[in-house]
């Protein structure tokens, strides 16, 4: 990561909807339009996601679980369940404890859920999300009258002065979500690791509202002590019982249950499901050093002076621990101390090769893109996920992507000419970029940010 990007580390990747009216003066209309240029023509096929597919129930226990689930769910969800079995997704066991999607769905259906959550509702949302992850959205819902007093009380619990009380009451009406990073990670987990997604869904919606995951410390840093520094810096609860592994506890913030209960009883079209609420809250908690508030969609934390979204370093850490993979955030845009886009760290052909190599390896690529004003000053950013590519009749490259903030449940297409110049960073395996770019390790980047913020506060 280049030094110049450190000057905008407090720049959060939220959503294009967060652009302030005062920043829109003089921006060409073309720069403000949504990135999507058309609906993707490549249909989503869940059977492409898993390897070593098993499509037949092998034991009496599996048959019993499947039969009981089929009796509980509605007609449409039952059909999705049948498709997941035929595609090999239902019996996929690519989870941290080797449990299958079926195992976790059955546990969700036959054991209690957290207060105010519906077992049938959570089961339906989990099955449908795994079957078609494009339904994941980051759109918050409103707070209905019957929940308002409880939400206000929760958000003003520790507030004493009138000004802060007014702000706390106002902030529960979230207009624009800052959870694009968390929603993108949620999508990636559902699309690439359905059994682990189901395991998270079960644990986060259980009375304990948490899930444990063992990770390899080498996926955070080359040296154990550096990896432990990262875990401690992010304040994620963990145990290190060996030199190379750690057991982490993932959980949503304390106010997430209120949002999840609201979405259980008062969910409107295009709004998040209770499952989305719990997943996104959990991943925001990880990235924000356990400081997220689901009622306001705001956060605190030692690495960030802004209160919305996650910065690039926080995003990379969250991706790494959720997927237990060594994720490297590669910065492509060169930005000066005034947040002005002044160039690129490599040419577009090299950037394109990096992305296509990752996709050919079977990786989705979560990218952060930026928008600039007429002076090339970055005014906003957003996270989306590249899931594939194709070529148009003229041979032009088209990226197939998912955007959790476009109010449509399906993939979208971005032309290479439109998307590549906007890409600020991408999460990629290190071996793809090692010969082209020098990238600062994640823990070093975090330590630099931490020192910089401490110096500013001094």
Q: Chain centroid to CA 18: how far?
A: 18
Angstrom distance (rounded) from CA 161 to CA 187 = 40
- Both 101 and 38 in one domain: the answer is no
- Both 261 and 130 in one domain: the answer is yes
Task: State the burial class of residue 112 (Cβ atoms within 10 Å of its Cβ: 0-12, 13-18, 19+).
Answer: exposed
For residues 306-314, average pLDDT? 90
pLDDT digits (tens, 9 = 90+) for 176-218: 899 999 999 999 999 999 999 999 999 999 999 999 999 999 9
Q: How confident is the model at residue 47 (pLDDT cuts 50, 70, 90)?
A: very low
Domain boundary among 319, 344, 368: 319
pLDDT digits (tens, 9 = 90+) for 153-182: 999 988 888 888 888 889 999 988 999 999
- Both 395 and 247 in one domain: the answer is no
Quick check: is 342 in a domain? yes
Number of domains in the chain: 2
Q: How confident is the model at residue 51 (pLDDT cuts 50, 70, 90)?
A: low
Question: In the prediction, which pLDDT does 429 show?
Answer: 86
Quick check: is 180 in a domain? yes
Strands (E), 202-316: 211-216, 238-239, 245-250
Q: How confident is the model at residue 19 (pLDDT cuts 50, 70, 90)?
A: very low
- Both 448 and 327 in one domain: the answer is yes
- Both 77 and 193 in one domain: the answer is yes
Q: Does residue 323 register a pLDDT over 60?
A: yes
Quick check: is 151 in a domain? no
Determine contact, residues 397/352, Cβ cutoff 8 Å.
yes
- Both 314 and 331 in one domain: the answer is no
Quick check: is 167 in a domain? no
In the chain, the N- to C-terminal Cα span, in Å, equals: 26
Question: In the prediction, which pLDDT does 52 show?
Answer: 60
Quick check: is 150 in a domain? no
For residues 297-304, average pLDDT? 91
Q: Does residue 227 register a pLDDT over 70?
A: yes
Q: Does residue 9 register a pLDDT over 60?
A: no
- Both 412 and 315 in one domain: the answer is no
- Both 400 and 305 in one domain: the answer is no
Residue 88 Ramachandran class (φ > 0 left, ψ -120 to 50 alpha, else beta): left
Question: In the prediction, which pLDDT does 130 show?
Answer: 97
- Both 238 and 332 in one domain: the answer is no
Tokens of 408: 């449509």
Q: Does residue 23 register a pLDDT over 80?
A: no
Looking at every residue in the chain, the average pLDDT score rounds to 87
Domain boundary among 287, 319, 351: 319
Domain boundary among 303, 319, 335: 319
Q: Pick the residue with more confidence: 406 or 13?
A: 406
Beta bridge partners of 211: 250
- Both 254 and 128 in one domain: the answer is yes
- Both 245 and 348 in one domain: the answer is no
Question: In the prediction, which pLDDT does 266 show?
Answer: 95
Quick check: is 220 in a domain? yes
Q: How confident is the model at residue 431 (pLDDT cuts 50, 70, 90)?
A: confident
Determine contact, residues 179/293, Cβ cutoff 8 Å.
no
Q: With a threshold of 0.75, does the pTM exceed it?
A: yes
For residues 433-439, average pLDDT? 83
Q: Containing domain of residue 380, as a range?
A: 3-45+323-457
- Both 40 and 109 in one domain: the answer is no
Tokens of 342: 């002044």
Q: Does residue 45 register a pLDDT over 80?
A: no
Quick check: is 164 in a domain? no
Quick check: is 148 in a domain? no
């Amino acid at each position: 990561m280049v030094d110049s990007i450190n000057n905008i580390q407090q720049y959060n990747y939220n959503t294009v909807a967060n652009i302030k009216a005062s920043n829109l003066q003089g921006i060409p209309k073309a720069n403000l339009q949504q990135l999507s240029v058309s609906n993707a023509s490549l249909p989503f096929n869940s059977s492409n996601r898993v390897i070593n597919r098993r499509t037949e129930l092998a034991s009496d226990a599996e048959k019993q679980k499947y039969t009981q689930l089929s009796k509980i769910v509605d007609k449409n969800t039952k059909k999705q369940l049948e498709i997941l079995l035929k595609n090999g997704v239902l019996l996929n066991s690519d989870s941290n404890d080797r449990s299958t999607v079926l195992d976790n769905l059955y546990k969700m259906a036959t054991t209690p859920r957290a207060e105010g959550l519906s077992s049938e509702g959570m089961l339906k949302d989990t099955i449908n999300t795994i079957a078609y992850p494009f339904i994941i959205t980051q759109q918050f819902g409103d707070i209905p009258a019957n929940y308002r007093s409880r939400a206000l009380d929760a958000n003003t619990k520790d507030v004493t002065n009138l000004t802060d009380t007014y702000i706390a009451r106002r902030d529960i009406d979230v207009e624009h979500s800052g959870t694009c990073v968390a929603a993108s990670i949620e999508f990636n987990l559902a699309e690439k690791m359905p059994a682990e997604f189901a395991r998270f869904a079960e644990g986060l919606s259980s009375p304990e509202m948490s899930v444990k995951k063992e990770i390899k410390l080498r996926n955070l840093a080359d040296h154990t002590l550096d990896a432990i520094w990262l875990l401690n810096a992010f304040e994620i609860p963990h145990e290190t019982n060996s030199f190379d592994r750690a057991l982490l506890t993932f959980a949503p913030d304390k106010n997430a249950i209120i949002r999840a209960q609201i979405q259980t009883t008062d969910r409107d079209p295009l709004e998040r499901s209770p499952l989305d609420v719990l997943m996104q809250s959990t991943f925001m908690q990880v990235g924000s050093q356990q400081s997220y508030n689901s009622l306001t969609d705001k956060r605190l934390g030692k690495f960030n002076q802004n209160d919305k979204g996650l910065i690039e370093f926080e995003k990379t850490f969250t991706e790494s621990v959720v997927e237990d993979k060594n994720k490297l955030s590669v910065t492509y845009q060169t930005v000066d101390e005034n947040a002005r886009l002044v160039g690129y760290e490599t040419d577009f052909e090299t950037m394109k090769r990096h992305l296509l190599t990752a996709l050919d390896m079977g990786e989705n690529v979560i990218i952060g893109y930026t928008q600039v004003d007429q002076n090339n000053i970055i005014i906003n950013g957003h996270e989306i996920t590249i899931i594939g590519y194709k070529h148009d009749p003229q041979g032009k490259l088209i990226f197939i992507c998912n955007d959790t903030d476009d109010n449509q449940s399906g993939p979208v297409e971005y032309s290479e000419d439109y998307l590549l110049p906007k890409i600020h960073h991408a999460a990629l395996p290190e071996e793809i970029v090692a010969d082209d770019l020098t990238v600062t390790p994640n823990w070093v980047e975090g330590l630099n940010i931490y020192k910089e913020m401490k110096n500013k506060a001094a």
